[in-house]
């Protein structure tokens, strides 16, 4: 299929979803999968519950920022928002199990006060960004790395604008904006004087709607051994425009910290530190883009890069209904939601005992 046709298909699919959302009025429900033979009252109850999770602010309304406590009542909506399905960046981030201040499934279950329904919530970008190192060309004074970047949705190419960054020891490279019809190749040249491992960061805006964004990052070796998996050295927890970096080893010293968006990059200001952690102020950048937070440092003599996103997605919390489907009435609802001006996909599973 030609690239223009793919872009048109993706844009039309999105417009259909938005049209269905508008037809549903304030609820903006996109599509429920209701299984045959299920009591309609049960189906409607779960549909309303799925909407409640996204339309309610919870209690207290700022429980996302109040990291010392679990919510008394659960809801993900941004307080005092004029938009339906605008979610709070911190409430969403506290659903991520990698966040130091995450709420648990038990916390949410208790706050919902509904004893006969189990749930699962997933929030992720509408499309995916895949990064692959395809070739390496070594010279005396530099090395060129060739990366293949795929932007797709369920195997269908998504045309997008791409912004790339590379972070290494005392090194930050920023690309121009690339245009992609679903696949793009980017060459990165690193001097032999730069120490790695290095981190490639990519942010992507869908051509069909520039508020639909996705991102990914890939560590690769450069004058270094193979990089460790993300989260090997630091536990990064963004909340209330503050980043807490918990040291997972006693010999860690931090070097640099960056906030990267599609149009801007900024160094982070460290506001506190001790032997176990460091705290940074995250700038509120006026850019319709998630913020990628990248930290570099040493574990004794081993250099590393760590990263996370703010909002800290993708997230997945709740019950695995794969094995429970035969025992429960399971309903699946998918919504488009807004977090800090960007559009993401939220899927909610709800299930209860068969009657």
Tens of pLDDT along 69-116?
Answer: 899 999 999 999 999 999 999 999 999 999 999 999 999 999 998 888
This prediction has a pTM of 0.89
For residue 152, how many other CB atoms are within 10 A of its CB? Answer: 18
Is 347 among the domain residues? yes
In this prediction, residue 116 carries a pLDDT of 82
Cα 21 to Cα 281: distance, rounded to the nearest angstrom: 37
Is 284 among the domain residues? no
Number of domains in the chain: 1
Mean pLDDT for the chain overall: 89
In this prediction, residue 71 carries a pLDDT of 96
pLDDT at 146 over 50: yes
Cα 299 to Cα 249: distance, rounded to the nearest angstrom: 7
| Long-range contacts at 168-171 (CB < 8 A, ≥ 24 apart) | 168/194, 168/195, 168/196, 168/197, 168/198, 168/199, 168/222, 168/296, 168/305, 169/194, 169/195, 169/196, 169/255, 169/296, 169/303, 170/194, 170/255, 170/256, 171/198
Question: Residue 42 sits in which domain range?
Answer: 3-124+313-353
Q: What are phi and psi of 12, to 5 degrees?
A: -65, -40
In this prediction, residue 28 carries a pLDDT of 32
Length of the chain counted residue by residue: 355
The per-residue pLDDT for range 183-224, each reduced to its tens digit, is 999 999 999 999 999 999 999 999 999 999 999 999 999 999
Is 139 among the domain residues? no
In this prediction, residue 27 carries a pLDDT of 34
């Amino acid at each position: 299929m030609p690239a223009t046709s793919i872009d048109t298909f993706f844009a039309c699919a999105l417009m259909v979803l938005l049209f269905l959302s508008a037809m549903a009025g304030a609820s903006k429900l996109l599509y429920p999968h209701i299984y045959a033979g299920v009591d309609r009252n049960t189906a409607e109850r779960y549909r309303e519950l799925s909407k409640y999770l996204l339309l309610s602010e919870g209690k207290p309304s700022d429980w996302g920022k109040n990291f010392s406590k679990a919510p008394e009542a659960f809801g993900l909506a941004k307080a005092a928002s004029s938009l339906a399905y605008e979610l709070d960046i911190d409430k969403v981030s506290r659903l991520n199990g990698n966040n130091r201040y995450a709420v648990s499934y038990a916390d949410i279950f208790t706050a919902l006060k509904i004893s006969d329904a189990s749930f699962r919530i997933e929030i992720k970008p509408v499309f995916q960004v895949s990064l692959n190192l395809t070739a390496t060309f070594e010279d005396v004074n530099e090395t060129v790395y060739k990366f293949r970047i795929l932007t797709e949705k369920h195997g269908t190419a998504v045309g997008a604008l791409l912004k790339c960054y590379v972070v290494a020891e005392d090194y930050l490279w920023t690309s121009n904006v690339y245009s992609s019809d679903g696949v793009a190749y980017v060459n990165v040249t690193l001097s032999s004087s730069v120490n790695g491992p290095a981190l490639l960061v990519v942010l992507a805006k869908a051509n069909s709607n520039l508020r639909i964004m996705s991102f990914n990052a890939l560590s690769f070796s450069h004058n270094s051994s193979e990089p460790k998996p993300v989260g090997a050295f630091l536990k990064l927890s963004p909340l209330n425009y503050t980043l807490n970096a918990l040291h997972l080893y006693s010999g860690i010293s931090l070097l640099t910290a960056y906030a990267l968006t599609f149009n801007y990059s900024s160094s982070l200001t460290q506001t506190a530190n001790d032997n176990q952690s460091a705290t940074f102020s995250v700038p509120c950048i006026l850019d319709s883009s998630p913020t990628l937070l990248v930290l570099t440092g040493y574990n004794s003599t081993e250099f590393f890069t760590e990263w996370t996103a703010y909002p800290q997605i993708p997230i997945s919390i709740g019950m695995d209904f794969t094995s429970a489907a035969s025992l429960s009435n399971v309903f699946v609802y998918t919504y488009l939601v807004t977090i800090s001006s960007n559009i993401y996909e939220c899927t909610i599973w709800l299930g209860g005992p068969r009657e």
